[in-house]
């Protein structure tokens, strides 16, 4: 063979070997990249006991999961041993150091020798972060949970406690089906637990269930998508409206009101304190939680001349918590690079110049339909959308506040100090607009305006605030936020704090007006809960005598037969309410009945019209709540069909886990 021909074959062989190999190397690198880690590279003020979270892009081989895959070293404390847990997603690894890091040191993390389930090696990764120069501050009045008293029901009524809140149903005009979920409290100074109850009320304000808080106050009492109940017991430490008690904790109850689970940030990350404002249970069973991190000796004077150089700074934290491994698997912090600035608050209520700076005051959280996160930050007058697929948790958009990216349409006054921002089924965004500082909107571009007088001027006659429920359509192409519906009770309701709005299945909106305090007259006595139709007529309204209020209110089908099958659905036809929750993840509830007392039968049919489950056969005098199980059925769209001699009623039920 000639030298020329031999060289040709060598080139062919080299090319044929190198091209596939190069492609293989590229596919390995792309498939085994680290898509998220916490703490972020270069982040600061990390707690001394912080977990380290790493998520490759592919599922991890459990046999390769060991502490040796993490080389963790502190610049002062040296090498750290620890334990490694694998989340139930099969990808997320959590390293928990055995010993705390030293305050003020830099920590370096080196990842190596982690394999994916198909045998690929996860990319080596190195990142570093700075530990807070001081331990993060926590305060607690008490933190011992005491089991609740036995529940009561309408079937076995009991005399109500002497401090039961005084309530009056002002309007009851064919409201949506369901019971009200309320956690009442007295806002009077020194009231303690007087008038404080979590309660389920029927449409006549009769209690279906109630229990008194065991130690602090209850907040955010609601039905979860999986049919269980959640409430938070906690609140602020005595004398503060910024520092949340470290004993604050969420509890999960089954339908018999037995506590079966709990979620507490201090249990899983210790330096962050659970925020009582919101919790959401995700389809994977994890909890999406709000928290606070209180950092001492924060230097506000570097950005604001005259501000404190040693302020107590209260920042916001979001965690996704996997209770199966007792660990957070995703963390977002408000002060990390590219997130909020400590001067983004739009008014003096955040006390930017004072000793305690509550600069964010996050109060609602939701996983959006695309998996990203919606966050309401009251002291920023802002609703933000956070990109979960971005390793840094950057913003997709910001609505309201100093960094507003939208043009408001049909809304010249904008929202202010809002609560409860929610994506609803039609794709729009609802929120409760407290309106505290709406008259300062013209100064929104000014960081500090010396002409703004103390907060009590918000109640002067020229700028008296009023609360409202708002629904916005967000046009992401043109970046417009169009107010398509609102309800303000003829501009008569004040709301200093708290509040919520829930879009019900029948199109009505349940509005909780929160707490109202006017420096000129004290606590304001006004309706607490209003259910309003799309045409703004009132279907239901409940008043609790001030100073008793509730942080939020929810409506959902539960166990009360009298709790709200609208009488407009009666007339001989079978009654079938909207199932809740819908989509169903295991257990849902539905109200059914036959006003003429004839036998009825409730069955479930799949998309092909095949009956897959029979739930009820018998008669109901008027209406009753029925618990139905979807366990064992595949995800998909189904139809509940209620049949009687008089006719048929049906409802769609979606199963999604």
pLDDT (tens digit, 9 = 90+) per residue, 579-630?
Answer: 878 888 888 888 777 766 778 899 999 888 789 999 998 877 556 778 889 9
pLDDT at 483 over 50: yes
Same domain, 458 and 547: yes
User: What's the CATH code of the domain at 628?
Assistant: 2.60.40.1930
* 21 located within any domain: no
Instruction: Describe the strand order of the beta sheet including 587-593 as a list of residue ranges.
Output: 575-576, 587-593, 624-629
Same domain, 462 and 327: yes
Give me the pLDDT at residue 490, please.
92
491, two tokens: 């501009």
pLDDT at 191 over 80: no
* 11 located within any domain: no
* Whole-number Cα distances in Å, 369 to 250, 423, 579: 24, 8, 20
Cα–Cα distance, 605 to 652 (Å, whole number): 10
Q: Residues in the chain, how many?
A: 657
39 upstream amide cis, omega within 30 of 0: yes
* 146 located within any domain: no
Q: Which residue has the higher pLDDT, 479 or 144?
A: 479
Cα–Cα distance, 241 to 230 (Å, whole number): 23
Q: Which of 513, 539, 538 is nearest to 528 (CA)?
A: 513
Same domain, 340 and 406: yes
Cα–Cα distance, 648 to 654 (Å, whole number): 20
pLDDT tens digits, 319-339: 999 988 989 999 999 989 889
Question: Dihedrals φ, ψ of 601, to 5°?
Answer: -140, 130
pLDDT at 157 over 60: no
Q: Which residue has the higher pLDDT, 227 or 198?
A: 198
Question: Dihedrals φ, ψ of 473, to 5°?
Answer: -100, 120
Same domain, 552 and 573: no
* 147 located within any domain: no
Same domain, 535 and 574: no
Last residue of a domain, one of 505, 533, 556: 556
DSSP assignment of 278-298 equals EEEE-TTS-EEEEEEEEEEEE
Q: Which residue has the higher pLDDT, 137 or 460?
A: 137
Same domain, 454 and 311: yes
Same domain, 484 and 550: yes
Same domain, 69 and 192: no
3-state secondary structure of 167: strand
Last residue of a domain, one of 522, 556, 590: 556
Same domain, 109 and 233: no
pLDDT at 431 over 80: yes
Same domain, 279 and 215: yes
Cα–Cα distance, 113 to 472 (Å, whole number): 49
Percentage of the chain beyond pLDDT 70 is 84
Give me the pLDDT at residue 643, please.
86
Least confident of 15-19, 414-418, 517-521, 627-631: 15-19
Tell me what percent of the chain is helix, strand and coil, each rounded to the nearest 5.
10, 40, 50
Q: Which of 101, 96, 108 is nearest to 136 (CA)?
A: 101
Same domain, 478 and 610: no
Least confident of 67-81, 97-111, 231-245, 248-262: 231-245
Residues whose CB falls within 8 Å of the CB of residue 420, separated by 6 or more in sequence, listed in order: 363, 364, 376, 430, 431, 432, 499, 500, 501, 552
Range of the domain at 582: 569-655
Last residue of a domain, one of 501, 534, 556: 556
Give me the pLDDT at residue 135, please.
84
Least confident of 165-179, 352-366, 568-582: 568-582
Q: Which of 324, 360, 326 is nearest to 344 (CA)?
A: 360
pLDDT tens digits, 274-288: 999 999 999 899 999
Cα–Cα distance, 61 to 411 (Å, whole number): 53
Give me the pLDDT at residue 593, please.
75
Torsion, CA 549, CA 488, CA 506, CA 475, rounded to 10:
-120
Q: Which residue has the higher pLDDT, 247 or 449?
A: 247
583 upstream amide cis, omega within 30 of 0: yes
User: What's the CATH code of the domain at 525?
Assistant: 2.120.10.30
* 4 located within any domain: no
Q: Which residue has the higher pLDDT, 497 or 624?
A: 497
Angle, CA of 404, 373 and 425, to the nearest 5°: 95
Average pLDDT of span 630-651:
86
* 18 located within any domain: no
3-state secondary structure of 360: coil
Give the pLDDT band (50/70/90) at residue 379. very high
575, two tokens: 């009654």
* 141 located within any domain: no
Residues whose CB falls within 8 Å of the CB of residue 159, separated by 6 or more in sequence, listed in order: none
Residue 35 near residue 393, CB atoms below 8 Å: no
Give me the pLDDT at residue 134, please.
87
User: What's the CATH code of the domain at 120?
Assistant: 2.60.40.1220
Q: Which residue has the higher pLDDT, 163 or 138?
A: 163
The total number of structural domains in the chain stands at 3
Where does 193-256 have alpha helices with state H? none
Give me the pLDDT at residue 182, please.
97
Least confident of 167-181, 332-346, 637-651: 637-651
* 459 located within any domain: yes
**pTM score:** 0.81
Question: Strands 480-487 and 407-409, how do they pair?
Answer: parallel
pLDDT at 31 over 70: no
Instruction: For 516-563, list the strands marked E by DSSP.
Output: 517-518, 522-523, 529-532, 538-544, 548-556
Same domain, 391 and 538: yes
> Sign of the C-alpha dihedral, residues 25, 31, 35, 37?
negative
Question: Dihedrals φ, ψ of 435, to 5°?
Answer: 75, 15
Terminal-to-terminal C-alpha distance of the chain: 67
């Amino acid at each position: 063979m000639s030298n020329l021909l031999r060289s040709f074959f060598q080139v062919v062989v080299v090319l044929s070997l190198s091209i596939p190999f190069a492609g293989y190397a590229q596919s390995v690198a792309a498939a085994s990249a680290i898509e998220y880690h916490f703490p972020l590279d270069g982040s600061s003020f990390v707690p001394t006991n912080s977990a380290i979270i790493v998520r490759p892009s592919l599922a991890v081989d459990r046999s390769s999961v060991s502490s040796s895959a993490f080389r963790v070293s502190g610049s002062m404390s040296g090498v750290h041993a620890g334990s490694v847990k694998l989340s139930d997603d099969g990808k997320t690894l959590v390293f928990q150091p055995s010993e705390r890091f030293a305050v003020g040191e830099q920590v370096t993390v080196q990842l190596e020798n982690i394999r994916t389930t198909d045998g690929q090696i996860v990319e080596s990764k190195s990142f570093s972060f700075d530990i807070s120069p001081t331990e993060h501050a926590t305060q607690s009045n008490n933190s011992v949970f005491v089991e609740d008293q036995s529940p009561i029901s309408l079937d076995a009524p009991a005399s109500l406690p002497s401090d039961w809140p005084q309530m009056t149903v002002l309007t009851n005009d064919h409201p949506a089906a369901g019971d009200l979920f309320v956690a009442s409290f007295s806002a009077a100074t020194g009231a303690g637990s007087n008038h404080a109850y979590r309660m389920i009320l029927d449409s006549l304000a009769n209690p279906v269930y109630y229990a008194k808080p065991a130690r602090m106050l209850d907040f955010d009492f609601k039905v979860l998508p999986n049919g269980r109940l959640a409430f938070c017991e906690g609140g602020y430490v005595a004398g503060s409206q910024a520092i949340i008690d470290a004993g604050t904790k969420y509890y999960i109850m089954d339908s018999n009101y037995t506590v079966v689970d709990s979620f507490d940030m201090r249990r899983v990350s210790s330096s962050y304190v659970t925020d009582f404002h919101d919790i959401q249970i995700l389809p994977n069973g994890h909890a999406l939680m709000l928290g606070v991190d209180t950092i001492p000796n924060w230097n506000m004077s570097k950005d604001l001349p005259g501000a404190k150089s040693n302020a107590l700074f209260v920042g916001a934290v979001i965690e996704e918590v996997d209770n199966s491994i007792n660990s957070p698997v995703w963390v977002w912090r408000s002060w990390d690079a590219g997130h909020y600035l400590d001067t983004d608050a739009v008014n003096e209520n955040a006390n930017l110049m004072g000793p305690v700076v509550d600069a964010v005051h996050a109060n609602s959280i939701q996983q959006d339909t695309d998996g990203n996160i919606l966050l309401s930050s009251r002291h920023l007058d802002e609703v933000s959308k956070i990109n979960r697929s971005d390793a840094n948790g950057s913003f997709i958009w910001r609505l309201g506040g100093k960094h507003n990216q939208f043009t408001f349409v049909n809304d010249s006054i904008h929202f202010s100090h809002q609560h409860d921002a929610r994506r609803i089924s039609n794709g729009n965004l609802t929120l409760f607009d407290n309106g505290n500082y709406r008259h300062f909107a013209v100064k929104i571009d000014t960081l500090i305006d010396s002409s703004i007088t103390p907060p009590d001027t918000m109640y002067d006659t020229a700028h008296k605030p009023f609360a409202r429920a708002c629904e916005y359509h967000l046009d992401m192409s043109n970046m417009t936020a169009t107010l398509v519906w609102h309800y303000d009770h003829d501009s008569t309701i004040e709301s200093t704090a708290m509040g919520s709005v829930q879009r019900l299945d029948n199109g009505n909106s349940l509005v909780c007006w929160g707490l109202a305090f006017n420096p000129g007259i004290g606590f304001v006595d006004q309706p607490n809960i209003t259910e309003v139709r799309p045409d703004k007529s009132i279907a239901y309204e409940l008043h609790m005598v001030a100073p008793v209020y509730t942080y939020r209110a929810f409506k959902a089908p539960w166990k009360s037969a009298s709790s709200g099958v609208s009488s407009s659905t009666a007339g001989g036809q079978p009654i079938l309410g909207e199932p809740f929750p819908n989509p169903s993840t295991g257990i849902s509830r539905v109200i059914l009945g036959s006003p003429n007392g004839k036998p009825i039968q409730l069955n479930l049919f799949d998309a092909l019209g095949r009956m897959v489950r029979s739930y009820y056969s018998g008669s109901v005098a008027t209406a009753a709540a029925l618990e139905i199980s979807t366990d064992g059925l595949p995800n998909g769209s189904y139809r509940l069909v209620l049949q009687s001699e008089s006719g048929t009623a049906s409802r769609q039920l979606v199963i999604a886990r």
